[in-house]
């Protein structure tokens, strides 16, 4: 008997599907075996929907996502919890925040303009919606880089060294 779980069967199947996508992007289970601790048969089981209680450990996911440079499963987990990931960019501690503010304003303006144009005639097309998504994503990235630049400046002033990959 399983304890009450907050994830549904469909959630767990979708996680297996995202792991299969990760394996495919990593070159298949045999190629993935070379960059993580799992044997190719075990890696296959992690993505097999018939293996309901066999899921990939987080370190295996981390190895494979880092190998391909795309957090496929992590993005899926974030989405399941109502979050989305934004890729961080390297920013110098002495970065000029005005450059980041200007970029954010420009990208936000483009996102708003795309939305206004899409709805100017009272309808929206798939292409217009795709453009809104693209422009909004660009604005999110600009906001994230501004946040990282401000945090880097603050950390430098406080003489704080960040652990690789962390952002407060």
* SS3 of 13-69: HHHHHHHHHHHHHCCCHHHHHCCCCCCHHHHHHHHCCCCCCCCCCHHHHHHHHHHHC
Least confident of 2-11, 20-29, 47-56, 129-138: 2-11
**pLDDT band at 39, cuts 50/70/90?**
very high
Question: How far is CA 24 from its chain centroid?
Answer: 18
Report pLDDT digits (tens) over 96-138: 889 999 999 999 999 999 999 999 999 999 999 999 999 999 9
C-alpha to C-alpha distance for 82 and 76, rounded to whole angstroms: 10
Q: pTM here?
A: 0.74
Copy the structure tokens of residue 50.
């018939």
């Amino acid at each position: 008997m399983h304890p009450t779980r907050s994830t549904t069967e469909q959630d767990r199947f979708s996680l297996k599907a995202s792991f299969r996508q990760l394996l495919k992007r990593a070159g298949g289970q045999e190629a993935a075996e070379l960059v993580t601790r799992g044997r190719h048969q075990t890696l296959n089981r992690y993505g097999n929907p018939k293996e309901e209680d066999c899921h990939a450990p987080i370190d295996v996911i981390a190895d494979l996502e880092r190998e391909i440079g795309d957090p496929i499963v992590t993005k899926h987990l974030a989405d399941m919890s109502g979050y989305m990931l934004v890729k961080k960019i390297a920013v110098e501690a002495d970065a000029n925040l005005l450059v980041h503010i200007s970029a954010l304003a420009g990208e936000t303006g483009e996102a708003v303009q795309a939305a206004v144009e899409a709805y100017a005639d009272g309808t929206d097309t798939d292409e217009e919606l795709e453009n809104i998504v693209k422009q909004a994503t660009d604005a999110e990235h600009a906001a994230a880089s501004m946040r990282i630049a401000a945090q880097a400046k603050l950390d430098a002033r406080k003489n704080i060294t960040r652990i690789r990959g962390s952002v407060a």
